[in-house]
């Protein structure tokens, strides 16, 4: 057998051996036998849009895919706005931006980071609220500057 033919045969056998060793995974990594995140419920951004009802209640008219998949469109959803960034005008003219500046009936957008598979129980902790009826200056930090 000539050396060139031997080299081609060895190369061909090596090509078959590489996929076999790649498939032989012990299941501890990210391979074909790995867990692929089963049992893990990552958090994603839910974007709710609707009418504010007062006290953190929003009648959801529409939202992003996560909101739709969770079946929250057409529902009244309760939010905890205590630590949310607020983009709203100072409607009660008290010199500070608080949840009290969001007026019942205003159109709002609320963002919340919630688990992807099951958002959990209400009230949801809102991350950001934008009052689209009475928009603020965009600072959204509650300061008077």
Domain identity same for 65 and 6:
no
Joined together, the tokens standing for residue 31 give 């391979």
Domain identity same for 54 and 99:
yes
3-state secondary structure the chain: CCHHHHHHHHHHHHHHHHHHHHHCCCCCCCCCCCCCCCCCCCEEEEEEEEEEEECCEEEEEEECHHHHHCCCCCCEEEEECCCCEEECCCCCCCCCCCHHHCCCCCEEEEEEEEECCCCCCCCEECCEEEECCCCCCCCCCCCCC
Residue 25: the pLDDT is: 55
Whole-number Å distance between alpha carbons of 4 and 72: 68
Residue 143: the pLDDT is: 46
Domain identity same for 47 and 113:
yes
Residue 144: the pLDDT is: 44
Domain identity same for 49 and 91:
yes
Would residue 9 count as lying in a domain?
yes
**Are β-strands 124-125 and 76-80 bridged in parallel, bridged antiparallel, or unpaired?**
parallel
Would residue 137 count as lying in a domain?
no
Domain identity same for 47 and 32:
no
**pLDDT tens across the length of the chain (145 residues):** 677 777 767 777 766 666 655 555 555 555 555 555 567 889 999 999 999 999 999 999 999 999 999 999 999 999 999 999 999 999 999 999 999 999 999 999 999 999 999 999 999 999 999 999 999 886 555 444 4
pTM: 0.70
Joined together, the tokens standing for residue 90 give 């100072």
């Amino acid at each position: 057998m000539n050396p060139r033919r031997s080299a081609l045969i060895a190369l061909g056998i090596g090509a078959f051996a590489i996929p076999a060793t790649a498939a032989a995974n012990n299941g501890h990594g990210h391979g074909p036998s790995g867990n692929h995140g089963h049992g893990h419920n990552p958090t994603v951004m839910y974007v709710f849009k609707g009418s504010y009802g007062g006290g953190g209640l929003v009648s959801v008219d529409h939202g992003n895919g996560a909101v739709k998949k969770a079946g929250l469109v057409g529902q009244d959803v309760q939010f905890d706005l205590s630590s949310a960034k607020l983009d709203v005008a100072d409607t009660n003219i008290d010199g500070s931006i608080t949840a009290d500046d969001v007026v019942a009936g205003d159109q709002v957008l609320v963002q919340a980071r919630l688990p992807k598979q099951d958002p959990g129980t209400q009230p949801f902790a809102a991350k950001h609220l934008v009052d689209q009826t009475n928009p603020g200056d965009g600072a959204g930090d509650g300061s008077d500057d």
